Chain A
Amino acid sequence: MEAIRNALDFSDFPKTDLGVALAVLVFLFCFPFFPHSAFAMATMIQFFIFSLYGMGWNTIGGYGGQVDLGKAQYVGIGAYTTMVCLLRWDIPFWVSMPIGAGLSICWSFIIGYPLFKLKGHYFAIATIATSLVLKDLFEVWKFVGAARGLGILPYKYHPPDFWRLIFKEDVYYYYIIFAFFIVGLLYMNWFRKSRLGYQLRSIKDNEEVARSLGVNVHWAKIKTYAIATAFVSVVGSFHAVYVKNIEPEDTMSLDISILIALMAMLGGAGSLWGPVIGAGVLIPLKSYLKEWLGAAAGLLGIDLIIYGIIIMIISAFEPRGLWGIIEKIRRRRRI
């Protein structure tokens, strides 16, 4: 009960923040009722997906300060589990999603145990490496379609299929991922004020101090990594049924891992709203840049260049991202 109360307790935020948040939520809820293009709809769904990825990343990367650049491997595990379960055994989404999360968590324990013996940049590099290795394995693994991947043929089912999550209209996906988004946000609101949340922030401040306060640093990191993983994997499962066509390159590539980290880092690592703000800025930017510049001018790499510039600007000026800038301004006003 206390957990639920804490999840719903936003009282430590100023009223203006909550007002803005509420207005955004109302807008998001009403969005499908406004006239919109299919492209805008797809962008909104991507926004939710990446907000959730970012929230997951934010647990270990933001609150815990462990820069993880290998989250795509769990997108892959989630997506492939759901896809394989559906295609081979006709296991519906709501069953395959927890299976995928379970597999992801198992894998996160296996690699998390040795990985968290590493610190700083070494940890970041190791996460990239494990993710790339897994991607390469999937590219040659015939059972999961190797490099060509797997695809759902929607006409085999009778949409709307709420059990398998096969729909013709995007609006169904929109409200399902919107519900995930709300749950994710409430979970994060609980998490940041939980024992583990505080312990992680203490680890980020100073590991020695954390240890002296009874925090099992290694185990706390592994646990949090598993939470981050579960988030990413669940949304990966959703991604699979939503795009209906997955291959290692577009679920497990380094681009995805970096983009996930970037959501929270741009928006504000270690803050509740950070990943949402980050996704709100980056996803439309990414979609529309690709639409306007990329395809037209043959400049497909330009979004990557922009991400690179964003990373440099954040790390040089405000490591705590856009939210950090907002808080800085507020602090100055108060003084």
Chain B
Amino acid sequence: MALLEVHHLIKAFGGLKANDDVSFVIEKGELLGLIGPNGAGKTTCFNCIAGMFPPTSGRIVFDGQDVTGLPAHEMARRGLARTFQVYTAAGDLTVGENVLVGCFMHTRSRSSAKSKADGILEQMGLKEFRHQLVSELPVAAQKRVTMATALGTDPKLLLLDEVAAGLNPSEIEATMAGIRRIHAELGVTVMLIEHVMELVMNISHRLIVLDYGRKIAEGLPKDIARDPQVIKAYLGERYVREHAAEIGG
């Protein structure tokens, strides 16, 4: 069953079409990767889905309901959560308080929000950082905070925007395990934007490739890795040579 359907999504900023006729479907329980070169319109696509701004045209159906143009907070309440690429936390909320804000979405009671937040902090390995400011943490932990915060809202669909960017190999490994756990144990459908190929190729059930705002390919990771158009637009010949064994090319 489709959890999210995007039909002919167009988002134009002035004359520039950041998303141009993008259509795809996410099935319930899927782990979908969205890749493409910088400026391909991946984050714009996330923003349209998450209601950060309305699409110029097109239709978005979430959980069987037309949600086109609904504001972000309304989307969050319907079960869509997202992380942000750059977490600009200049403010004074500690890690624990950040997670608490998400947990307050479904309840007014402080004690029940608190106990839920404690559980999530524990799960995400953030308990020790609880009283620190987000800006004081190492990058890997900051990324976990954005995921933990989003999880507080009990999402059906979680959009992850470059949660592995800037991490070292062992941290990437840990992030990958984390995403798998969220997906498997919490039963959350996940869509992720990622430039770190070993993560996105490994973890995704299916991939969508954007280039200049258009969807240029869609399919299984191993097929995408061999797609000439994708290689030309994004992966590059070198990637294919180096990973020839894995993708069987």
Contact A270 B101 (CB under 8 A): no
Assembled-state Cα–Cα distance A214/B104 (Å): 9
CB-defined A-B contacts under 8 Å, sample of 17: A6-B110, A193-B110, A195-B104, A198-B97, A198-B100, A198-B101, A201-B97, A202-B93, A204-B91, A211-B52, A211-B73, A211-B76, A212-B50, A213-B153, A214-B153, A216-B73, A270-B92
| Cβ-closest chain A residue relative to B112 | A2
Which residues on A sit within 8 Å (CB–CB) of B111?
Answer: 2
Contact A212 B93 (CB under 8 A): no
Assembled-state Cα–Cα distance A6/B50 (Å): 34
Proximity string of chain A (204-233) to chain B, C-beta cutoff 8 Å, 1 when within and 0 when not: 111011111111110000000000000000
Which residues on B sit within 8 Å (CB–CB) of A201?
Answer: 91-93, 97, 101
Contact B105 A214 (CB under 8 A): yes
**Given A211-B71, A213-B101, A214-B73, are A205 and B150 neighbors across the interface (CB < 8 Å)?**
no
Assembled-state Cα–Cα distance A166/B52 (Å): 54
Assembled-state Cα–Cα distance A107/B212 (Å): 49
Assembled-state Cα–Cα distance A195/B71 (Å): 20
Interface residue count for B (Cβ, 8 Å)? 35
- Add 4 more A-B contacts to A198-B101, A211-B51, A216-B73 (CB < 8 A): A2-B111, A6-B110, A204-B91, A205-B89
| A73 at the B interface (CB under 8 A) | no
Stretch at the interface among B32-40, B80-88, B215-223, B238-246: B80-88
Assembled-state Cα–Cα distance A51/B97 (Å): 27
| Cβ-closest chain B residue relative to A204 | B91
**Given A2-B111, A208-B84, are A214 and B77 neighbors across the interface (CB < 8 Å)?**
yes
| B113 at the A interface (CB under 8 A) | yes
Chain B residues with a Cβ under 8 A of chain A: 50-52, 71-73, 76-77, 81-82, 84, 87-93, 97-98, 100-102, 104-105, 107-111, 113, 149-150, 152-153
Assembled-state Cα–Cα distance A210/B101 (Å): 8
Interface residue count for A (Cβ, 8 Å)? 24
Contact B72 A211 (CB under 8 A): yes
Which residues on B sit within 8 Å (CB–CB) of A217?
Answer: 73
Which residues on B sit within 8 Å (CB–CB) of A204?
Answer: 91-92
Contact A212 B91 (CB under 8 A): no
Which residues on A sit within 8 Å (CB–CB) of B89?
Answer: 205-206
| A257 at the B interface (CB under 8 A) | no
Total CB contacts across the A-B interface at under 8 A? 86
Assembled-state Cα–Cα distance A209/B101 (Å): 10
Which residues on A sit within 8 Å (CB–CB) of B52?
Answer: 208, 211-212
Which residues on A sit within 8 Å (CB–CB) of B76?
Answer: 211-214
Which residues on B sit within 8 Å (CB–CB) of A199?
Answer: 101, 104
Which residues on A sit within 8 Å (CB–CB) of B104?
Answer: 195, 198-199
- Nearest-neighbour CB distance to chain B for A36, whole angstroms, equals 38
Which residues on A sit within 8 Å (CB–CB) of B88?
Answer: 206
Contact B73 A195 (CB under 8 A): no
Assembled-state Cα–Cα distance A217/B84 (Å): 17
| A315 at the B interface (CB under 8 A) | no
| Cβ-closest chain A residue relative to B100 | A198
* Beta-carbon contacts under 8 Å, A175-209 to B: 193-195, 198-199, 201-202, 204-206, 208-209
| Cβ-closest chain B residue relative to A6 | B110
Assembled-state Cα–Cα distance A211/B74 (Å): 9
* Beta-carbon contacts under 8 Å, A6-41 to B: 6
**Given A2-B111, A201-B91, A202-B93, are A215 and B101 neighbors across the interface (CB < 8 Å)?**
yes
Contact B150 A212 (CB under 8 A): yes
- Nearest-neighbour CB distance to chain A for B200, whole angstroms, equals 22
Assembled-state Cα–Cα distance A70/B101 (Å): 29
| Cβ-closest chain A residue relative to B108 | A195
Which residues on B sit within 8 Å (CB–CB) of A208?
Answer: 52, 72, 84
